[in-house]
Structure 1
Amino acid sequence: MFGGGGGGMNPRKMKQMMEQMGIDMEDIDAEEVIIRTPDEELVFTDAEVQLMEAQGQKTYQVVGDPESRERGETDDAAAEDDGDGDGDDGTAVDADDVELVAMRAGVDEDTAREALEDNDGDLADAVDQLE
């Protein structure tokens, strides 16, 4: 139906057609992607990530082989690791978020946790506060 063969169209022509339709594609240099479900986390390290934007809608494509982790392990650790006792009202932050903010901002985990708590768990605001 489309000319047989198994290759499709060349990437340059495909990109040109997508631009004509108002679709932008961009490769993202991602270090790690985490997808959280109620039961598990799918952790992609060194994943290929592409952002496609069309008609104001952003779509992310993740290609890689994820490691699966049970959710209960990280959630319990985050709740127990709060330390100051005032996180029992549901404001305890996720241990993975603390680690990510600490790494991005170049601070220790206690400082990262405080910034996350100050910013209601918002990763970007916590990093901005620390930079």
Structure 2
Amino acid sequence: MLPGNINPRQMKAMMKKLGMNVEQIEDVQSIVIKTPKGNWVFDSAEVTAMTMQGATTYQIAGTPRFEAAAIEIPKEDVTMVAAQANVSEEKAKEALIASKGDIAEAIMKLAS
């Protein structure tokens, strides 16, 4: 909240005197923040860049959605589970995906 009755033009002038520069980044289509567990995707986000003392920070305003990362199953794991459970590699891979890559759990599910 702005102190007193300062209009936006006065606020911008005060910030400039303090060495702060704030600008709105226009026409942002989407922003993706990648993490090992998945991606946070902001569609049509509002982005503001603020530069102060040589460092630029970005503020994102919008509603994110989370897209979980696909589990990568190494070929060696698929081959081993298929051999141990005596099933096809396709079924072994399905079991590994269902068990989130846990080899022992996949073998036990296929063996029962």
TM class by shorter chain equals 0.5 to 0.7
Partner in structure 2 of residue 65 of structure 1: 63
Structure with the largest fraction of helix = 1
Mark the CA change 1:7 to 1:25 in structure 2 (over 3 Å): closer, same or farther. Answer: closer
Residue 7 of structure 1: how far off its partner (Å): 5.7
Gaps of 5+ in 1: 1-5, 77-131
**CA distance in 1 between partners of 2:38 and 2:8 (Å):** 35
Change in CA separation of 1:43 and 1:53 when aligned onto 2, cut-off 3 Å: same
Quote the RMSD (CA, aligned, Å).
1.9
Superposed counterparts of 1:71-82, under 5 Å:
71-72=69-70
Tell me: CA distance 1:11–1:71, structure 2 relative to 1, closer, same or farther (3 Å).
Answer: farther
Q: Which residue of structure 1 lines up, in the alignment, with residue 19 of structure 2?
A: 22
- Number of the residue aligned with 2:41: 43
TM-score of the superposition, structure 2-length normalised?
A: 0.54
1:72 aligned counterpart, secondary structure: coil
Q: Please identify which structure carries the higher strand content.
A: 2
Could you tell me the percent identity over the aligned residues? 38
Structure 1 residue matching 2:70: 3-state secondary structure: helix
Larger-gyration structure (1/2)? 2
Q: Distance in 2 between matches of 1:72 and 1:36?
A: 13
Higher relative contact order, chain-length normalized (CA < 8 Å, sep 6+)? 2
